[in-house]
Amino acid sequence: MASFQNQVVVITGAGAGLGRGMALAFGREGAKVMVSDIDEESGQETVALVQKAGGTAAFYKANVAHYHQVDKLMAVTVEHFGRIDIGINNAGIGGGQMARLADISLIDYQKTIDVNLSGVFYCMQAELKQMLAQGGGKIVNVASVAGLRPLANASVYSATKHAVVGLTKTAAIEYARKNIRINAVCPVFTHSNMVQSMFDQSPELEQKLVKTIPMGRYGQPEDVAQAVLWLCSEQNNFLTGHALPIDGGSAAV
Ligand SMILES: NC(=O)c1ccc[n+]([C@@H]2O[C@H](COP(=O)([O-])OP(=O)(O)OC[C@H]3O[C@@H](n4cnc5c(N)ncnc54)[C@H](O)[C@@H]3O)[C@@H](O)[C@H]2O)c1
């Protein structure tokens, strides 16, 4: 039997990149995956890919920056699949134009806070209420290595990811005796649309940044997916409150 057989997993931002990679990985392991994204077309594509690989998935469109849409997403997941065993709070944006702090527009500032910080907070609130009612669960928030140390020209993005690590660690101790484990993953640059748009803004950055990764390559969505499966597995029942770098050794430097 696959290790996540019949477990219900909800993944935000699962229409592309890391979220799609995690949806496919959980689907392969027998989970029932609620794919959510602001973009219906790409979300439905992820559902089709999970199903093509023999997995079970459904789609619900939600913008994580809106509390009521997140609340509805979690309610629909419970209606459809009966419970929420695992919440993967992955939806996030890069923060707009790369710029030093004084030059960041207030529009980019607010949007980044709304999606990357409020979005994770709303998801955690709704997931925790359900997990408390059903007697347990697991949450993984997708932060970033930029949540562990600064990322020049992306101060607001970095601030939101530090905040996600703070939400993760604090909630982990608050619910440690409620059979709810809460961790974060902190990927380094990983191939996705988000990273591609950053490299499109500055092609020389692509050559420069890879040299800062000891393993000498950028991450792949599957690298993150495998770490998340491991964090959520039953073999890890004593592991909570961590912010795990998935970074080819970057955080060790
Ligand atoms: N790719 C990287 O190098 C990297 C590194 C560290 C952390 N991360 C984090 O991983 C997560 C996923 O990033 P990615 O690289 O796969 O990006 P991506 O842009 O490829 O995919 C993000 C997905 O989220 C969706 N989305 C965007 N805003 C949304 C919203 N308000 N509500 C719901 N869905 C929304 C998009 O439609 C898209 O499908 C983000 O939180 C990002 O900060 C990425």
Q: For 100-141, how does the pLDDT look when each residue is reduced to its tens digit (9 = 90+)?
A: 999 999 999 999 999 999 999 999 999 999 999 999 999 999
CA 92 / ligand 1 centre spacing (Å): 4
User: How much is the average pLDDT of 171-193?
Assistant: 97
Comparing 94-98, 117-121, 142-146, the range with the smallest average pLDDT is 94-98
- Is the model's pLDDT at 78 over the cut of 80? yes
Task: Categorize the per-residue pLDDT at 205 as very low, low, confident or very high, splitting at 50, 70 and 90.
Answer: confident
% pLDDT > 70, the chain? 99
pLDDT at res. 201: 80
Task: Compute the mean pLDDT over every residue in the chain, rounded to the nearest whole number.
Answer: 96
CA 18 / ligand 1 centre spacing (Å): 7
CA distance 243 to 10: 20
Task: Categorize the per-residue pLDDT at 198 as very low, low, confident or very high, splitting at 50, 70 and 90.
Answer: confident
| DSSP-assigned states of every residue in 79-140 | HHHS--SEEEE------SS-B-GGG--HHHHHHHIIIIIIHHHHHHHHHHHHHHHHT-EEEE
Q: Which residue has the tokens 């794919």?
A: 35
Is residue 109 annotated as part of the catalytic site, yes or no?
A: no
Classified by CATH at the fold level, domain 8-190+222-237 comes out as Rossmann fold (3.40.50)
Please check whether residue 209 is in contact with residue 201, taking contact to mean a CB–CB distance below 8 angstroms. Answer: no
- Is the model's pLDDT at 1 over the cut of 60? no
Q: Which atom of ligand 1 is nearest to the CA of 194?
A: 19
User: How much is the average pLDDT of 158-187?
Assistant: 98
User: How much is the average pLDDT of 159-177?
Assistant: 98
Strands laid side by side in the 180-187 sheet: 56-61, 32-37, 8-11, 86-89, 137-142, 180-187, 243-246
CA terminus-to-terminus distance, the chain: 40
Please check whether residue 35 is in contact with residue 62, taking contact to mean a CB–CB distance below 8 angstroms. Answer: no
Q: 6-35 pLDDT, tens per residue?
A: 999 999 999 999 999 999 999 999 999 999
Task: Categorize the per-residue pLDDT at 2 as very low, low, confident or very high, splitting at 50, 70 and 90.
Answer: low
Residue boundaries of the structural domains of the chain: 8-190+222-237
- Tell me the pairing of strands 180-187 and 243-246: parallel
Catalytic residue among 60, 109, 122, 157: 157
What residues flank ligand 1, with Cβ below 6 Å? 12-13, 15-19, 37-39, 42, 63-65, 90-93, 115, 119, 142, 144, 187, 189-190, 192-195
Report residue 216: phi and psi, to 5°. Answer: 75, 20
pTM of the entire structure? Answer: 0.98
pLDDT at res. 202: 82
pLDDT at res. 61: 98
CA 89 / ligand 1 centre spacing (Å): 10
Best CA proximity match to 145, nearest among 107, 189, 113: 189
CA 123-188-206 angle, to 5 degrees, is 125
CA 1 / ligand 1 centre spacing (Å): 31
